[in-house]
Structure 1
Amino acid sequence: MSLAADVLEAARARKVLIATAESCTGGLIAGALTEQPGSSDVVDRGFVTYSNAAKQQMLGVRATTLEAHGAVSEAVAGEMASGALSRSDAGLTVAVTGIAGPGGSEHKPEGRVCFGIADAFGITTETVDFGAIGRGQVRAATVDHALRLLLAALER
């Protein structure tokens, strides 16, 4: 069984709806979940918020957070996850924002992705540096890691 199928099975068992808030993956996490047959019973919605304006308008990310930390930050990932939770019927959300490449900077290198998970227990965030492995590989690794975070949250 696939990782996405495992997430859906765990969500069904816990009777939890899932929503995604995606920047650098452009909807690939929601796509991986909805690729699975019968996913509509646990996938509520996906927010694709590629621009800072979209993060603010659709998820309520504060302009002050974007200015202070930049879009690729745990602070923004946390606000994205929280915003998805409050703007959906989901009980569990995952958010991702990062630099898939090419490009980046000394302070925010290519391959850096910040993750946020929000549920009834609160918000957790983390940063993973996948490295300059190429845009497609960073996005694929991000989807995989996000699914693992969802599964871990469902199993606690």
Structure 2
Amino acid sequence: MDTYLISRAVAELGECLKVHDNVLATAESCTGGLLASTLTDVAGSSDWFAGSVVAYANAVKSDLLGVSSEVLEKHGAVSEPVVLAMAEGVLKTVGADFSVAISGIAGPSGGTPDKPVGTVWMAWAWPGGSRAKSYRFNGDRTAVKEQSVMAAINGLLGVVK
């Protein structure tokens, strides 16, 4: 990861949130807290970052974020309905103004023909709205996680600005 570019993007995100006295929360699965760590690497992030739920297991997605077991069974953890529910759930759980949720297959195993390694779903939510997007990232596990973090930050910038 290009730490300089990421630091600049996170600083810009923080300024956008601070200007309107908004706070952010994250719900992460395949990134395992890397996004939260990246956000808190920037000094002053406590002004606009409320917290994160690392929901690696489906039980955590259900118990802490309110993702229904029916949705998980029908669509799988790496899907649009699940990340939308995760993003909306973390808004409520943490009490934030904006959120992002990430669920994917970082590899090297776990992929299927329909959802190969590198498939990542993200959702961004705010009171009254949400959107989701799928990605196919290349590279090893670390590369997939890093690309996911950058895409999440860029998506947040698009939503918050």
TM-score bracket, shorter-length normalisation: over 0.9
- Give me the whole-angstrom Cα distance separating, in 2, the residues matched to 1:7 and 1:31: 15
In the TM superposition, residue 142 of structure 1 has moved relative to its aligned partner by: 0.1
Structure 1 counterpart of 2:60: 54
- What secondary structure does 2:125 align onto? strand
Residues 1:39 and 2:45 are matched in the alignment? yes
In the TM superposition, residue 17 of structure 1 has moved relative to its aligned partner by: 0.3
1:106 maps to a residue whose letter is P
- Give me the whole-angstrom Cα distance separating, in 2, the residues matched to 1:50 and 1:32: 18
Residues 1:138 and 2:148 are matched in the alignment? no
Q: Which has the higher mean CA deviation after the structures are superposed, 62-71 or 1-10? A: 1-10
Residues 1:19 and 2:25 are matched in the alignment? yes
Q: What value does the CA root-mean-square deviation take over the aligned residues?
A: 0.9
Structure 2 counterpart of 1:64: 70
Residues 1:107 and 2:111 are matched in the alignment? no
Q: Which has the higher mean CA deviation after the structures are superposed, 112-121 or 92-101? A: 112-121
Residues 1:120 and 2:127 are matched in the alignment? yes
- Give me the whole-angstrom Cα distance separating, in 2, the residues matched to 1:44 and 1:2: 20
2:62 maps to a residue whose letter is Q
Stretches (4+) displaced over 4 A: none
- Give me the whole-angstrom Cα distance separating, in 2, the residues matched to 1:116 and 1:143: 12
- Give me the whole-angstrom Cα distance separating, in 1, the residues matched to 2:20 and 2:135: 27
2:18 maps to a residue whose letter is R
Counterpart contact for 1:14–1:154, Cα < 8 Å: no
1:23 maps to a residue whose letter is S
Percent identity at matched positions? 40
Counting matched residue pairs gives: 154
1:85 maps to a residue whose letter is L
How big is each residue's C-alpha offset from its partner over 1:37-78, in whole Å with a ceiling of 9 and x where there is no partner? 111010001000000001001101000000000000011000
- Give me the whole-angstrom Cα distance separating, in 1, the residues matched to 2:8 and 2:105: 26
- What secondary structure does 2:107 align onto? coil
In the TM superposition, residue 86 of structure 1 has moved relative to its aligned partner by: 1.2
TM-score, normalised by the number of residues in structure 1: 0.96
How big is each residue's C-alpha offset from its partner over 1:7-61, in whole Å with a ceiling of 9 and x where there is no partner? 1111111211000000000011111111111110100010000000010011010
- Give me the whole-angstrom Cα distance separating, in 2, the residues matched to 1:54 and 1:89: 18
In the TM superposition, residue 137 of structure 1 has moved relative to its aligned partner by: 0.3
- Give me the whole-angstrom Cα distance separating, in 2, the residues matched to 1:140 and 1:60: 27
How big is each residue's C-alpha offset from its partner over 1:87-126, in whole Å with a ceiling of 9 and x where there is no partner? 1121000000000011211011000000011102411111
Unaligned runs of 5+ in 1: none
1:101 maps to a residue whose letter is G
Residues 1:2 and 2:12 are matched in the alignment? no
